[in-house]
Chain A
Amino acid sequence: MGTIDEYRKSLREQVEAARERRKQAQWGAELESLGAPDVLGHARGGDADRAALLTASVGSGASGDPELRAAVLGGLVARSEPDRAHEVPLERLADGAEHPRVRLAALLLLKQLSFSSRTFAAWRPEYLTGLRVALSVPELRLPAFGVLTGMGDRRAQELLVEGLKDPTAALVPTADALNLLSNDPHADVREVAREIADNPPDDRALEAALRHLATDPASEPRLRAILDDVRKPIAARKTAATALFAQGHEDLLPPAPPALNALVDVEANRDPVVEHVHSLKRHRQVGL
């Protein structure tokens, strides 16, 4: 009974956390749509707008409000020549004296520009350097690592692996490091993932380690042990089941949990992991 309630509570917390993250990611990051007045309330059109935005963002008259400066940055990029739109955000990202909110806005704008800018190959080196500088700021670490690992950056990979092997050098939590490293299939962290799965610092790290071990045939006994251990978190047991299924082991049903009390709510005796395994099998049957 307690297990089902814990699962539902955990699910509610994950949904709330995801909602909060979505709110934050939108802050200061949007390029303004054509036709809308800019964040300073000026009508669109002409160099005067751009100059005013530049002053409000980085000039001597720059606003002391980082949220406003972040929003202004988006307006500035929208009004810049396409081949040079990256310049001010690059400066902001790499400026150690700039407020993290503004630097994060710059990072998100540059991420969008890395897809649309025809000159991206030329400023890619500077972009990577700016992202690495941003790693020194706790608020910027995860977003910067996210971009770097997505680009297959070897240096980011090295820093994350170093942190997994030596927790005193870790720049992000274990689970985040493992999840970031999963962006690159050649980031070889199986050895570390096995150790973490055997001795996890927390439940998130355990789940992240198990995801890495989905491609490790040698971890089959480890994954089965986690799946069969009803004391392990449900999310981890489900991840172990999914990993075993991915390896082709479809004989997964764990031993039936003991019937605690035949008179209480039937739902309390249903093991969500068993349901998950059945779901995996159904998906395999219909070819998903």
Chain B
Amino acid sequence: MAEAAVETVRSEADVLRTIAAGRGDAAYGQLFLVLLDERHAVYAGMDPATITRVRGALIHALADRGLSPAAERFVLAELESAYDPWLTAVCAAALRRRPAPAPDHVQPLLEAILYVGQRDDQIRLDCYGGYGDAGEPTTAVTEILRTLAWLGACGQSALPRLRELATTMVGEVNRDALAAAVAAIEADPQATVEPGCPPIVVVDRALPPELAGSRLQDHAERELSFKEFFVGAPTVVVFFFTRCGNPAKCPLTVSRLGHLQSRLVAEGHAIRTAAFTYDPAYDIPRRMAQYARSWGARLGEEHRFFRTLDDPEPLRAFFDLGASYGPAGVTQHQLEAFVLDRRATIVRAVRRRRWDEAELLAAAASL
């Protein structure tokens, strides 16, 4: 029933009906996870505010019976690029529904405090969308700090940062929550495991003919085919769009690309980099070049920003991009990065988490 149901969910109202029907029912867990995927048709044409409400409601429902490992990935991804206070608070609270804390939870929680701390809001977890009268009011930072306290010994790597925050955090409620988190972590005597990094995913997807000849335009207005740039040398590929409103996503992606490019040049690697825009109609070459420079990326023969001039679907399908679109353009997207070999075959992928320069460099250098 759930498999058939996923095809029929096409609107916010459909999602809410599905959640109402399946909340607390383990059989619906997989359906909720499918609906969280940015590529699901329910998000086509949906505006960003509605997407936020829908995703928050799905995560809230998934946490009802305990958060599964599959759901945890979505929660950590939202925390790593925290933006909306209610959605962030829902994710922080949902993490406490894992059977046990883990050291890997620390970094996303600390990033969430960094990004949402300056745009926090008073919300109610149990209200759809966060605003209403049901339940106790709370804030995103308060929920993040509560989750850090829940980590106990697993949160030890957070202590330096939390002690630093204690010297600058203002507001009685948050100061109390921060003190409680530090006390809970320090008081837990259990031995800890060092946080690990989720492995980079091995992929083997060859360049399809319909994409090989498709036309691209780079930041300098030069036109060329996909294979002209991507065949011949390993390439690291990231995605962005200039109208991204989340500083923890595209601006940070391009900034980190700049760091990676500097390492490639300094260490003499014959590895190219490419940044594709999710938004080719709006991101004309001049805008892409300005964006790259603004956020510290290099531009040159081996390091280019691209947009597609032909139908973007073959590119989206090749990279299996995690993005959705509305009338005004991109409405949401994952963090994702790829490594292509000399034949432009995708050999590595990082999805739904922040990529590490060292891991992409190691993967590309080994080709």
B362 at the interface (CB under 8 A from A): no
A47 at the interface (CB under 8 A from B): no
Q: Which of A191-217 contact B (CB under 8 A)?
A: 191, 215-217
Contact B122 A126 (CB under 8 A): yes
What is the CA–CA distance of A83 and B119 in the complex, to the nearest angstrom? 18
Query: Residue on A with the closest CB to B246?
Result: A186
Chain A interface SS verdict (over half): helix
On chain A, the residues within 8 Å of B174 by CB distance are 122
Contact A122 B171 (CB under 8 A): yes
Given known contacts A123-B171, A217-B281, is B122 in contact with A188 (CB within 8 Å)? no
Given known contacts A83-B170, A188-B47, A188-B48, is B119 in contact with A124 (CB within 8 Å)? yes
On chain A, the residues within 8 Å of B170 by CB distance are 83, 118-119, 121-122
Nearest chain B CB to A265 CB, angstrom units: 45
Given known contacts A158-B49, A161-B49, is B328 in contact with A186 (CB within 8 Å)? yes
Q: Which of B43-57 contact A (CB under 8 A)?
A: 47-49, 52
Contact B49 A157 (CB under 8 A): yes
Please report the total number of B residues contacting A with Cβ < 8 Å: 29
B331 at the interface (CB under 8 A from A): yes
Query: Residue on B with the closest CB to A129?
Result: B122
Contact B119 A152 (CB under 8 A): yes
Contact B327 A190 (CB under 8 A): yes
Contact A186 B245 (CB under 8 A): yes
Per-position 1/0 for A137-173, Cβ under 8 A of B: 0000000000000011111011001000000000000
Contact B118 A121 (CB under 8 A): yes
On chain A, the residues within 8 Å of B331 by CB distance are 186, 188
B24 at the interface (CB under 8 A from A): no
On chain A, the residues within 8 Å of B121 by CB distance are 124-125, 128, 153
Query: Residue on B with the closest CB to A123?
Result: B171
Per-position 1/0 for B181-195, Cβ under 8 A of A: 000000000000000
Please report the total number of A residues contacting B with Cβ < 8 Å: 30
What is the CA–CA distance of A83 and B122 in the complex, to the nearest angstrom? 20
B117 at the interface (CB under 8 A from A): yes
Query: Residue on B with the closest CB to A190?
Result: B327
Nearest chain B CB to A220 CB, angstrom units: 13
Contact A119 B129 (CB under 8 A): no
B263 at the interface (CB under 8 A from A): no
Per-position 1/0 for B217-254, Cβ under 8 A of A: 00000000000000000000000000101000000000
Query: Residue on A with the closest CB to B130?
Result: A155
What is the CA–CA distance of A172 and B244 in the complex, to the nearest angstrom? 28
Contact B117 A121 (CB under 8 A): yes
What is the CA–CA distance of A126 and B170 in the complex, to the nearest angstrom? 14
Q: Tell me the A residues contacting B by CB distance below 8 Å.
A: 83, 118-119, 121-126, 128-129, 132, 151-155, 157-158, 161, 184-188, 190-191, 215-217
9 contacts between A and B (CB under 8 A): A83-B170, A122-B169, A124-B121, A154-B52, A185-B245, A186-B243, A186-B328, A188-B326, A215-B328
